[in-house]
A and B are shown apart, each in its own frame.
Chain A
C-alpha cells in the first residue's frame, strides 16, 4: 500500500497519560498535515510541515500538543497529559506542493487514529 498510513488505528488511554501517533506520508510528498475530527464536524487544522519544517501550528492548539517531522518523512503527534476533550479522530494527510509550475494542493488522507480518553 503506497498511501498514507497511520499508527495506531485506535488508542484508548486514561486522562493524564501521554500518547504519540505516527504518520507515514506518501513517499514523494513534501507536505504533511495533521487534522482533528470529531463526530459531525469537518477536519480541524492542527499543524503542517513542508519537508521537516513546521510551517504553522493552530492557535487553538494548546502547548500539550507537539508534532515533529525530523527527517522530512514520517511525522509524530504527541499529546501530553491527555484530557477527555482530546477524544477525537486524528487525521494525517500529505500532498506534493510545487510552486513553479504551480501544483494543486491535493490532500491524501490516512485512515486516522481514533483516540479515546477515559
Chain B
C-alpha cells in the first residue's frame, strides 16, 4: 500500500520568510495529493491540493509542486505570518483503492 513520508518534522521560520515542506510517496499510481493544516485542538482542514497531471498549483501565498518521476511533492508558503503556525500534513490518494493516506506531519512555527 501507499506510504507517505514528510520532512522536516518541525520547522521554525521568522515572520516574512518562506517555509518549504517536502513529502515523498511510494505508489506511482497515486494521482491526488492534498495538503491539510491542523491548528492546535482543531480538525484538519484542506488548504491546497494537486492532481498528477499538473506540476504546480498556487493559491495566494501557498503553492504546491509535484515531481511524478521522483514521487515527491512540496508545499511552499511565502511571506509567512504567525497565523500560519500549525501542523501541516501531506497526503496521497491511492488510485487502486481510492483511500487517502497521510504523512506524519510537520509542525511549523512562525516567529514574530
Contact = CB atoms under 8 A, between A and B. Distances in A.
B101 to A, nearest CB: 6
Interface residues of A, number: 22
A107 B34 contact: yes
B99 A33 contact: yes
Interface in A64-78: none
Q: For A41, A43, A112, which residue has the most chain B Cβ atoms within 10 angstroms?
A: A43
Interface stretch (B58-66, B73-81, B102-110): B102-110
B43 A104 contact: no
Contacts of A42: 4, 6, 89, 102-105
Please classify the interface of chain A as helix (H, G, I), strand (E, B), loop, or mixed, using the class held by over half of its residues. loop
A21 interface: no
B43 A110 contact: yes
A106 B49 contact: yes
Contacts, number: 55
Contact of B98 (A97, A106, A112): A97
A22 B4 CA distance: 28
A45 B32 contact: no
A85 interface: no
Contacts of A104: 32, 34, 49, 51
Interface of A: 33, 35, 40-45, 48, 55-56, 91, 97, 104-112
Given A43-B102, A48-B99, A109 B89 contact: no
A33 B105 CA distance: 19
B43 A105 contact: no
A105 B104 contact: no
Nearest to B2: A45
A57 to B, nearest CB: 11
A35 B51 CA distance: 23
B46 interface: yes
A41 B43 contact: no
Contacts of B111: none
A43 B103 CA distance: 8
B45 interface: yes
